Amino acid sequence: MPATSFQPQPYEGPDFDKIRSIRANHLNPALFTYYKSPLLIHQGHMQWLFDHNGVRYLDLFGGIVTVSVGHCHPKINEATKKQLDKVWHTTNIYLHPKIHEYAERLVATLPGDLKVVYFVNSGSEANDLAMMMARMYTGCYDLISFRNAYHGMSPATNGLTAHSTWRYNIAGNFGIHQTMNADPYRGEWGGKHCRDSPVQTTRSCNCSPGQCAASGKYVDQLDEVLRYSAPKGRVGGFFAESIQGVGGTVQYPKGFLKSAFELIRNHGGVCIADEASVQTGFGRTGEHFWGFEGHGAIPDIVTMAKGMGNGYPMAAVVTTPAIAKTMSAALHFNTFGGNPVASTVGMAVLDAIEADQTQANCRDVGTYFLLELAKLRDEFPNLVGDVRGKGLMIGVELVSDPETRAPLAPADVLTIWEQCKDMGVLYGKGGFYGNVFRIKPPMCITKSDVDFAVAVLRKSIASFLEK
């Protein structure tokens, strides 16, 4: 494990058994914990987490892709503490400088006419608001998302989410349609020339290098949804994660999203880039500040959350002046959105991204990570089915049959995953079958961290195969 000079403070909270008892009796019963013996996290520093016994772990999931520039980043801590001594909260019925300073800086990172921001508190809340904006602006109620998409857990966004494991049996998807997921690895079409990634799938395809025939076929499927399901061929909006997160770091074929946006606009709809449900924004993909920029497409609405606050609960919707004006038809207000502390945190995150050059680090270290993981796929071809992603937005899919792409059994995935934790590396987990290791660490990790993480995963896989 790479060395660190940081020393955690002694743990002073309730003991482990007391924590487990409180959780079982007084917290949401739907909450689940990672690992057979859950971690009691006590402190964090940059890419490291420490449990109540002082054991150190390399965090490769960043609080579910939420810790962007590092746990307890000193510059963010300093700025936040300074603001806490001034004013925590006033609501926006008064003017306070921070929300205005932050709004100006945030919209400056976005292209085109994306110039008006609504501050809210979570990704689900941001997508809720985006749904309402799309419907108000277009006058059309129907919306489209992908199968395999995740857009939140509110009653409204749960209709956009298309994972049966996250869906409640309630009436929450009126006017929402799902189109075929444009997945070059598991989808109907696509293969080794289709992804915008340093690592391509080994699946064969008929595409020429630099060309993607699969893209047009998935656009045709979207067109079918519009023709058969949309009222009189009109649609209010189309939601798309720039790279699917909960769905297992799924990337679309090259050129797909740009063509899909054009098709939606031709049917009267607006295009919503969801960078809230999964943090492809704020430089994580390396080449661009926003994930949608990698598709050569500019949306009409962008939702963002997750790494926006480096773990502080905050989110936003950014849109054009024309769409924003629609919301003035009635009063609209958010009590906590953009409060002085949140705005201070948001600006400090932007400062840290710039000062620490995290976008360049995502490009360089992320590409190195992907290429090292690709060696594991070559080394264990009957288990590691796919390695994909851009920057520090990475997925490793485990299979039991590389030809059929049958997912590795959940119990076997957990065996490998638990062994990684026992050796000090915390990987995320996702995908519809729960067989994808999700790697979205704080954007400050180093190549030494990558070498350690890959060595741990290699040893865990080899140990599993020896049994």
Kindly state the helix (H) or strand (E) to which residue 57 belongs, with its residue range: strand 56-59
For the segment 9-27, what is each residue's pLDDT rounded down to a tens digit? Answer: 999 999 999 999 999 999 9
Question: Of 114, 124, 85, whose CA–CA distance to 340 is shortest?
Answer: 85
When pLDDT is cut at 50, 70 and 90, the band that residue 210 belongs to is: confident
**What backbone phi and psi angles, to 5 degrees, belong to 232?**
55, 35
Bridge partner residues of 176 (DSSP):
143
Q: DSSP for 433-455, please give it.
A: TS-EEEE---TT--HHHHHHHHH
- The mean pLDDT of the chain is 95
152 has pLDDT over 80: yes
* Helix axes 447-466 and 410-422, enclosed angle (nearest 10): 130
HSE (CB half, 13 Å, CA atoms) of 205?
A: 27
Measured CA to CA in angstroms, residue 240 lies from 200, 258, 270, 291, 467 at distances of 21, 11, 11, 11, 41
The CATH code belonging to domain 16-65+359-466 is 3.90.1150.10
User: What confidence score (pLDDT) does residue 294 get?
Assistant: 96
Closest CA to 289 of 109, 112, 65: 109
Q: How confident is the model at residue 381 (pLDDT cuts 50, 70, 90)?
A: very high
Percent of the chain surpassing pLDDT 90: 90
Q: Contact, 446 vs 365, CB < 8 A?
A: yes
Ranges of H-type helices in 167-212: none
Contact 101, 347 (CB under 8 A): yes
Q: What is the pLDDT of residues 406-445, one digit of tens each?
A: 999 999 999 999 999 999 999 999 999 999 999 999 999 9
Q: Which of helix, strand or coil describes residue 169?
A: coil
455, two tokens: 């060595």
Q: Give residues with Cβ within 8 angstroms of 164, minimum separation 6.
A: none
Per-position b or e across 409-447, b if 16+ CB within 10 A of its CB? eeebbbebbebbbebebbbbbbbbbbbbbbbbbbbbbee
The CA-atom distances, in angstroms, between 352 and each of 104, 261, 355, 443 are: 17, 32, 5, 11
What per-residue confidence (pLDDT) applies to 233?
85
The answer to whether 163 touches 218, Cβ cutoff 8 Å, is no
How confident is the model over 88-126, as pLDDT tens digits? Answer: 998 888 999 999 999 999 999 999 999 999 999 999 999
- Are 59 and 47 spatial neighbours (Cβ–Cβ below 8 Å)? yes
Q: Does position 397 have pLDDT exceeding 80, yes or no?
A: yes
pLDDT reading at 172 higher than 80: no
Kindly list the strands in the beta sheet with 41-45, ordered across the sheet, starting from the edge strand earlier in the chain. 41-45, 48-51, 56-59, 425-426
pLDDT of amino acid 145: 97
Give the count of beta carbons closer than 10 Å to the beta carbon of residue 141: 15
Going by C-alpha positions, the residue among 307, 250, 180 that lies closest to residue 436 is 250
The pLDDT of residue 32: 86
**C-beta atoms surrounding 339 within 10 Å:** 24
166-194: average pLDDT? 91
Fold of 79-356: Aspartate Aminotransferase; domain 2 (3.40.640)
Query: ∠67-290-342 over CA atoms, to 5°?
Result: 45
The pLDDT-based confidence of 208 (bands split at 50, 70, 90) is: confident
Euclidean distance between CA atoms 45 and 264, whole angstroms: 44
Condensed to tens digits (0 to 9), the pLDDT of residues 59-71 reads: 999 999 999 999 9
Q: Where are the domains of the chain?
A: 16-65+359-466, 79-356
Q: How many residues are recorded in the chain?
A: 467
Q: What is the DSSP string of 68-127?
A: -S-BT-HHHHHHHHHHHTT-S---TTS--HHHHHHHHHHHTTS-TT--EEEEESSHHHHH
Token reading at 119: 């501050």
Q: How many Å is the maximal CA-CA distance in the chain?
A: 65
pLDDT of 277 above 80: no
